[in-house]
Amino acid sequence: MVNVLFAAEAERWAEYELPLRSAFRDSGIDVTLSTEHDPVEVDYIVYAPNGPVTDFTPYTKLKAVLSLWAGVETMVGNSTITAPLCRMVDHGLTESMVEWVTGHTLRYHLGIDQFLTQQDGNWRLGFAAPLARDRKVCILGMGALGAACGQALAALNFDVHGWARRAKQVDGVTCHHGGSGLDAAIEGADIVALLLPDTPETENVLDAERMALMARGGYVLNPGRGPLIDDEALIAALDSGQLAHATLDVFRIEPLPATHPFWAHPLVTVTPHIAAETKATTASQVIARNVVRGEAGKPFLHVVDRAAGY
């Protein structure tokens, strides 16, 4: 018998109980799944940091902590997590992110916003979108989400460039890496989408200097993490005309305070952290797969590198 503790917000249990039970049943493993277990009997914890567990010390036979969240910046500093910590790489979440990034890229590429604000009876000429192949799109972050977004945009013939800290190969994407590759990826980009984790190395990765490298009148999409962008530099770039618009889904403080200048800025679209959310059905399949691997003595999937922070 494998004991799995569900340790997330109480309302999540109603959402996840049936999908998890179904996924474990399909896996063929005999699992006891509950929101309450004797800590010394727990083998795996399905975890979210806003749930009831903060001290993992009592869980003496714990084999892995299986996060429901893709981002782990609030988890890696917990010194009581000594078992492998696995982040959520959910194919349902990936599909959602691809749809959000592709949708907003096409919105900018086709100039849709201007037509929404020009329904006044005047027939205006002068704007037609170039071909996608003539738009350089830069994606910062070539993990599972960034690579999937890059390939979707490449399939539409955008000139896609991607950047990662380490060398990557992604079909259809011109990949850059390391410090020197970052500027090369951004230089001349019409659209920059940020899909990096939040680490000390990635904070303010899109700052004033790098915004200046973009094509004048460029666009920024941030469905990654709030601290990736220098907020003040972004507002200055929008006010100067260096950037034409930014769509932001994530922020340094969430919910975004009502007094924050992003709300009132005419060149900023705020979406309330809805670009991509873990889907209970597909996430449960990922969790069950990792438990199967653990019980078979195989390496876990999506193990967090504590030193790197993701």
Active site residues per annotation: 225, 273
Alpha carbon of 147 to those of 67, 94, 168, 268: distances in Å?
A: 21, 10, 9, 26
Say if residue 287 is in the same domain as residue 207: no
Say if residue 178 is in the same domain as residue 101: yes
Position 72 in a domain: yes
- Domain containing 44 equals 2-90+278-295
Length of the chain: 310
Position 182 in a domain: yes
Total-model pTM: 0.90
Question: Do residues 143 and 195 lie in contact, with contact meaning Cβ atoms separated by under 8 Å?
Answer: yes
CATH code of the domain covering residue 10 = 3.40.50.720
pLDDT at position 118 is: 85
* Residues in the chain where the model's pLDDT stays below 70: none
Say if residue 249 is in the same domain as residue 183: yes
Backbone angles phi, psi at 89, to 5 degrees: -120, 95
List all residues 6 or more positions away from 154 whose beta carbon is below 8 Å from its beta carbon. Answer: 160, 171, 172, 173
Say if residue 134 is in the same domain as residue 187: yes
Q: What is the largest CA-CA distance in the chain?
A: 72
Say if residue 111 is in the same domain as residue 79: no
Number of domains in the chain: 2
Question: Do residues 136 and 159 lie in contact, with contact meaning Cβ atoms separated by under 8 Å?
Answer: yes
Alpha carbon of 94 to those of 25, 229, 245: distances in Å?
A: 24, 22, 24
Position 309 in a domain: no
Alpha carbon of 284 to those of 169, 264, 281, 299: distances in Å?
A: 29, 39, 5, 18
Q: Using CA of residue 119, residue 125, residue 130, residue 131, what is the dihedral sign?
A: positive
Alpha carbon of 310 to those of 17, 34, 72, 86, 202: distances in Å?
A: 27, 28, 6, 9, 12
Say if residue 254 is in the same domain as residue 290: no
Between CA 227 and CA 200 the distance in angstroms is 9
Position 119 in a domain: yes
Say if residue 157 is in the same domain as residue 19: no
Position 222 in a domain: yes
Position 300 in a domain: no
Say if residue 140 is in the same domain as residue 235: yes
Say if residue 151 is in the same domain as residue 104: yes
Structure tokens at 306: 């504590």
β-pair partners for 64: 44
Rounded CA Rg of the chain: 21
Name residue, tokens 């010194």. Answer: 79
Between CA 55 and CA 73 the distance in angstroms is 17
Say if residue 236 is in the same domain as residue 117: yes
Q: Please report, in angstroms and rounded to a whole number, the separation of the first and last CA atoms in the chain.
A: 31
Question: Do residues 93 and 71 lie in contact, with contact meaning Cβ atoms separated by under 8 Å?
Answer: no
Q: What is the pLDDT of residues 85-120, one digit of tens each?
A: 999 999 999 999 999 999 999 999 999 999 888 888
Say if residue 81 is in the same domain as residue 116: no
Position 301 in a domain: no
Position 305 in a domain: no
Say if residue 137 is in the same domain as residue 172: yes
